[in-house]
A and B are shown apart, each in its own frame.
Chain A
Amino acid sequence: MELELALAPPNAHRPVISHLADELSSSSSDSSSRGKRGFGEAFQDATLPLFDDGSSCGGNKKPLVGWPPVSSARSRARGGGCAAANYVKVKKEGDAIGRKVDLSLHASYDDLLATLGRMFPTTSNQDDNNETGSSTSHLVVTYEDGEGDWMLVGDVPWDDFARSVKRLKILG
């Protein structure tokens, strides 16, 4: 709960605060005494800002819970779709020039390996008719993690990997 100094509009169910100072100095929230509300009650509802510098009305309203009514499944999906691009360098051993790949466009290791297979074609994985789907599995891909260590790709869950990877290296 945010700490906000505020006046509350008059309301049939709650007494009007006459002195904000009294409110704050009575530390025990004795909610049964009329005229004074406990700390929790005072800041529960939508209140008018005491210091109106224009930023709290109109533009920067606090986000409403559950509005607009978009299901959490959609919000999650959208969050993923709007993620910022996550480009990492990819270098193949022996190549002078490297490439870059956007990890945010990939959701799994298979995905990434497919893209790498296309970016770095070798004679053995140009065969696109391989239907068991393991045509790219002979690419040995390593990555540099957050601690500067070089690790074999594939051990940790995809999301953890995508967050910690700094760059990729394909062993020739």
Chain B
Amino acid sequence: MGRGGSRASPAAAAPPWHALPDEVWEHAFSFLPADSDRGAAAASCRSWLRAERRSRRRLAVANCYAASPQDAVDRFPSVRAVEVKGKPHFADFGLVPPAWGAAAAPWVEAAADGWPLLEELSFKRMVVTDDCLEIIAASFRNFQVLRLVSCEGFSTAGLSAIASGCRNLRELDLQENEIEDCSIQWLNLFPESFTSLVTLNFSCLEGDVNITVLDRLVTRCHNLKTLKLNNAIPLDKLANLLRKAPQIVELGTGKFSADYHLDLFLKLESAFSGCKSLRRLSGAWDAVPEYLPAFYCVCEGLTSLNLSYATVRGPELIKFIGRCKNLQLLWVMDLIEDRGLAVVASSCNKLQELRVFPSAPFDAAEQVSLTERGLVDVSASCPMLESVLYFCRRMTNEALITIAKNRPNFTCFRLCILEPHTPDYITHQPLDVGFSAIVESCKGLRRLSVSGLLTDNVFKSIGAHADRLEMLSIAFAGNSDLGLHYILSGCKSLKKLEIRDCPFGDKPLLANAAKLETMRSLWMSSCSLTLGACRQLARKMPRLSVEVMNYSRGACPLDSLTDESPIETIYVYRTIAGPRSDTPACVQIV
């Protein structure tokens, strides 16, 4: 309005934008999907902090000891969905002492008190007791989603409480937990009136399940989309269940062995042909290859196939996978071999994620023909491939360079050469050049695991080029303190660093102490650290918790040890909660 060139001034009645009421900001923030964006907004100024935290609905606590449960409840009073992670990643491989910690109970208790409207709870690598499950069942009237991943400490008695108490349960997702079987028929405790289940995953349960009850449950839950069975469900029962739930989108088969019988084959084939919506398939497949054709009718529609527990091999397996032209995710055993991966490369052009697991990880003899060739083929022909986990026995720099050139779009590259210190098998050189090519080419790389024979040079490249790298895993690599120094002084986005069996000592740790506060956690085991360095680090960085573990020697009163004492394992993480009080005898906080 008015003359051109002059800006219209705001009407006098409208408030300046920075004085808008909280409700407006809360509404604006609801459009920020990522927690990191919300966190950034909250850090701008007090009023945004206030608006953001009061309206936060989803909370992810990546380290249960980084803050106390009460802190979380006080700061974010309106949370409806929480995810809490406990033990460090290396706990999956038995490197964390038993009874280390990560009890879910304090979180469950605080939530029961402060978040009565909680709908979703997810725990990963934590100790969840039956008591916890009972409290969950009793405290949240609109509880809908329970996800437990790699947890332990509970039994089927706890599951009974969930089944009988959570009237609005939509998802019960139990992944890779250790669950004690009390022979309680927990499935029976879902009331007859209960029909809201969308996801039921009990694949990790080792005990028997009442199939009649399961059948009735599946029949009455018309919205069931995900069903993952355990080993107690034989093939013919699987076929019956599928006929009751043809709307299924994700299926985990139970035990898939059984001698071949034509009538059972036909029954399975017929059941699967009715599952027009099936997109994701997994299971414990001690599969007899002759049954695989029963799945042919669903292959075309599959986007995700997890055969990583399947011992089936040979032409039947390869034919089967070759029919799955729309696969985005493939997890498989190395029994697929290079020739199978060549078929994947030519057939599965939409592949985004590939994981190849070792069928005989502890057996040194090479029985399976899976080499660098398979990975090279897949990365050459699958343009959308961005995430790889690959266990193999040999590798070359040339292969890695080729892979890096073909696939600059990798976000996750994890290569595990089974024998430590394995060099390039043709040139006998370290694999520094190959892994350097990966980090130089893949600018968006967020996760990297290195293996094979590696010197400090590879860490120089990683430190310099891996700007977006958030998680790095190193084992049996490097030759001096320099290696660790390169990483800690570079890698701008590093959040988690886990190291085992490397000749890294005190100096780089102390020289880069400040870096550790910008990271979520650091794990170092079987390196060359001393207690003195840990003490210095703890003194210098009060907002870090420095945990020392020498469990091979049992309880070690640290006070009696000298600074020169070698330390087996440290786990360092930033925290606002101060030192935790629930450490077992073999773990001490410096």
Contacts and interface: CB of A to CB of B under 8 A. Distances in A.
Contact of A66 (B94, B231, B263, B416): B94
B554 to A, nearest CB: 9
Contacts of B234: 108, 110-111, 114
A106 B237 CA distance: 14
B182 to A, nearest CB: 11
Contacts of B232: 107-108, 110-111
Nearest to A61: B364
Given A14-B566, A73-B204, A108-B208, A68 B231 contact: no
B176 A71 contact: yes
A108 B237 CA distance: 13
A132 B361 contact: no
B208 A67 contact: no
A19 interface: no
B95 A65 contact: yes
Interface string A1-34: 1000000000011100000000000000000100
What's the dominant secondary structure at chain A's contact region?
Answer: loop
A45 to B, nearest CB: 8
A68 B418 contact: yes
B313 to A, nearest CB: 12
Interface string B418-436: 1010000000000000000
Interface string A101-112: 000011111110
B183 A157 contact: yes
A68 B361 contact: yes
Counting chain B CB atoms within 10 Å of each CB, which of A1, A13, A66, A134 scores highest?
A: A66
Interface pairs A-B: 8 shortest CB-CB: A66-B93, A108-B232, A73-B176, A107-B231, A71-B92, A66-B95, A68-B361, A111-B234
Given A14-B566, A32-B562, 16 more contacts: A1-B552, A66-B95, A68-B362, A69-B473, A69-B475, A70-B358, A74-B357, A75-B361, A77-B309, A110-B233, A110-B237, A111-B232, A115-B258, A115-B259, A133-B212, A157-B183
Interface of B: 90, 92-95, 150, 176, 181, 183, 204, 207-208, 211-212, 215, 231-234, 236-237, 240, 243, 255, 257-259, 261, 263, 267, 284, 286, 308-309, 311, 357-359, 361-362, 364, 391, 416, 418, 420, 473, 475, 500-501, 528, 530, 552-553, 562, 564, 566
14 contacts: A13-B564, A13-B566, A64-B501, A65-B93, A68-B391, A70-B93, A77-B284, A108-B208, A108-B232, A110-B232, A110-B237, A128-B263, A131-B243, A134-B212
